[in-house]
Amino acid sequence: MPRRPDYDVIVIGGGPAGAAAALALARNGLEVAVLAKPDSGIPRVGETVPPAIVRPLAQLGLWNEFLAARHAEAPGSVSIWGGDQPYENDFIFNAYGPGWHLDRARFDAMLLSAAQTAGADVLNVAARDCAREAGAWKVLILNDDGGETLAARWLVDATGRAAWLGRRLGARRRRVDRQVALVRFALVATAGEPRTMIESCPDGWWYAAALPQDRAVAAFFTDADLLPRNAPDRARMWRRMLAQTQLIAKVYADSDVGSPVHTVAAFSGRSLPYAGENWLAIGDASHFYDPLSGQGISKALSSALRGAEAISLSLSNGQAAEEFIDSDNREYQRYIANYLAHYRREQRWPQHLFWKRRSVAPLEHS
């Protein structure tokens, strides 16, 4: 139950971006509520973070707690991309140390717990409707007692690619590709290769990682229209494509028990607009990056910190939100340039549709 009917800020979404924003806002002395929609039970995708994750976690005051959670170290990466030979990138000389393979449930719970400790109300409910009335936001939630309306001066959209709030306020999704991922988690008998693995193939590319608690994940990325329509055929395709890989199959060589093959969105693009009168979007609710960039969770935390700062400063500086928008626009343009450059490095299958589409400058479409 909420402690009060009105807040300075309501954050819609309880993933890494939403929890980090709520934590930062609460530490700035604002009254904050987080609407953390109950878990669907489907494993969250996004398990590997780069060494630089230390920066936003240190800003949030959570680095030591993160280390104590004993996530699995990722000492580097090995990839087959643009040629037949593996390329190894070891983090031994990285100033920030190793990367990490996360226990996502534990990581997300750490962030929400920290927000709650800082004073934010963490509510296991979903927003059902919202409207702006008399200079304030009204948000309808459904709880065990029925419906309830909360008020706030600011709203934050942290609902991921769904961009629930932004789309209700007129934002439109602008994608640059149709990419999806076929993802499967499994229990493995041994830890195997501790590094992140990436491997391109004629119709897309693969990612795999060994996770904490003897788990592993492997994901095949391709465009949605290049996949069979039904789930059984997609699962068969996943297994057939896996058997053809050089690196990725090794992760699953001793796979014991596995999850179903899940299809998840993995396209790049943005929602426009992603800020307006006393609202803004953070994380994947504003810009959504290709998992190949390895920036998903790092971007979520950094975006949350910038958004929280913009809202806190808005009380005294009317330009704060505009500066947030300018900063995110610059970051997105850098991302698109890097996206194009990296995909153009793979020239072995120029006539295959997946790679042909990525050989030209990406154009936004709905």
Tokens of 107: 């990581």
Which of 169, 113, 152, 164 shows the shortest CA–CA distance to 33? 152
Do 250 and 261 have their domain in common?
A: yes
Q: Which DSSP letter does residue 261 get? A: P
Do 111 and 235 have their domain in common?
A: no
Do 163 and 20 have their domain in common?
A: yes
Structural domain total, the chain: 2
Tokens of 188: 């493995």
Mean pLDDT, range 221-238, rounded to an integer: 95
- Domain containing 184 equals 179-265
What's the rounded Cα separation, in Å, for the pair 167 and 162? Answer: 8
**How distant is the alpha carbon of residue 103 from its chain centre?**
14
Which of 175, 164, 154 shows the shortest CA–CA distance to 308? 154
pLDDT the model gives residue 282: 96
Question: Of the candidates 213, 231, 265, which is a domain's last residue?
Answer: 265
**Residue 226 maps to a domain:** yes
Strands 279-281 and 146-157 come out as parallel
CATH number for the domain that contains residue 224:
3.30.70
pLDDT tens digits, 326-353: 888 899 999 999 999 999 999 999 999 9
Do 161 and 276 have their domain in common?
A: yes
Mean pLDDT, range 38-54, rounded to an integer: 77
**Residue 359 maps to a domain:** no
Residues in the chain: 366
Do 103 and 132 have their domain in common?
A: yes
Do 227 and 293 have their domain in common?
A: no
Q: What is the overall mean pLDDT for the chain?
A: 90
pLDDT tens digits, 170-196: 999 999 999 999 999 888 766 578 899
Do 152 and 255 have their domain in common?
A: no
Which of 362, 299, 359 shows the shortest CA–CA distance to 331? 299
> How many other CB atoms are found less than 10 A from the CB of residue 32?
29
pLDDT tens digits, 66-122: 999 989 999 999 999 999 999 999 998 889 999 999 999 899 999 999 999 999 999
C-alpha neighbours within 13 Å on the C-beta side of residue 171 = 27
**Residue 239 maps to a domain:** yes
Of the two residues 365 and 70, the one the predictor is more confident about is: 70
Do 41 and 123 have their domain in common?
A: yes
What's the rounded Cα separation, in Å, for the pair 95 and 90? Answer: 12
Strands 255-258 and 136-143 come out as unpaired
Q: Which DSSP letter does residue 226 get? A: G
Do 278 and 211 have their domain in common?
A: no
Do 230 and 273 have their domain in common?
A: no
Question: Of the candidates 250, 265, 280, which is a domain's last residue?
Answer: 265
**Residue 306 maps to a domain:** yes
Which amino acid appears at position 281 of this protein? Answer: A
Mean pLDDT, range 16-40, rounded to an integer: 92
CATH number for the domain that contains residue 152:
3.50.50.60
Q: What share of the chain is helix, strand, coil (3-state, %, to 5)?
A: 35, 30, 35
Question: Of the candidates 227, 250, 265, which is a domain's last residue?
Answer: 265
**Residue 93 maps to a domain:** no
**Residue 117 maps to a domain:** yes
Place of tokens 């690196």: 247
Cβ-based neighbours of 100, under 8 Å, separated by 6 or more: 48, 49, 53, 71, 72, 73, 74
**Residue 355 maps to a domain:** no
**Residue 89 maps to a domain:** no
Specify the pTM: 0.93
pLDDT interval class at 211 (50, 70, 90):
confident
> How many other CB atoms are found less than 10 A from the CB of residue 136?
13
Do 193 and 319 have their domain in common?
A: no
Does pLDDT of 38 surpass 80? no
Do 30 and 110 have their domain in common?
A: yes
pLDDT tens digits, 251-263: 766 565 577 899 9
> How many other CB atoms are found less than 10 A from the CB of residue 265?
16
Strands 6-12 and 32-35 come out as parallel
Cβ-based neighbours of 357, under 8 Å, separated by 6 or more: 177, 223
Place of tokens 């509510």: 123
Mean pLDDT, range 259-279, rounded to an integer: 92
User: For residue 335, what are the CA distances in angstroms to 177, 179, 196, 341?
Assistant: 14, 16, 21, 10
